[in-house]
Amino acid sequence: MPHPIFELTVLVLPADIDEQNHVNNAVYLRWVQDVAAAHWKALASADAREVIGWVVLRHEIEYKAPAMLGDEVVLRTWVGKATRLTFERFTEIWRKTDGELLAKARTLWCPINRQTGRPMRVPAEVRARFSHE
């Protein structure tokens, strides 16, 4: 069964542009985090959102082409392997007008208990909602 893909479209703003006149690499990282958070909020139950928080263990981003001021970009994300202690998340960033792949990322997230800040196990039903592995 395919992984559920979540999409979010964003507009490149003047604050996103760096000295090379294209989107700064830190903005791509922010987008990776923003779409992951939006996906979590869209699919997780209120109870899960109240108890489970997330911290990043690793980000890997491969830049393919620059995004420019005024571009609309589509952020696509899905969860790969989801264990009790980690979620592997993939993100692709595409330019909407021409369908060009701008960047792709792999992030390893660790669930934490929002009250204690300590790592916690994700219940099977939460893993099942996001991943089919």
How far, in Å, are 19, 39, 71, 97 from residue 88 at the CA level?
Answer: 32, 13, 28, 29
Please tell me the predicted confidence (pLDDT) of residue 3. Answer: 63
One digit per residue, the tens of pLDDT, for the chain of length 133 reads 456 899 999 999 999 999 999 999 999 999 999 999 999 999 999 999 999 999 999 999 999 999 999 999 999 999 998 888 899 999 999 999 999 999 999 999 999 999 999 999 988 888 888 876 5
Structure tokens at 117: 């800040």
| Residue boundaries of the structural domains of the chain | 6-130
Under DSSP, is residue 82 helix (H, G, I), strand (E, B) or coil?
A: strand
Please tell me the predicted confidence (pLDDT) of residue 125. Answer: 81
For strands 6-11 and 87-95, give the pairing: unpaired
Please tell me the predicted confidence (pLDDT) of residue 1. Answer: 42
As assigned by CATH, the class of the 6-130 domain is alpha beta
Please tell me the predicted confidence (pLDDT) of residue 132. Answer: 60
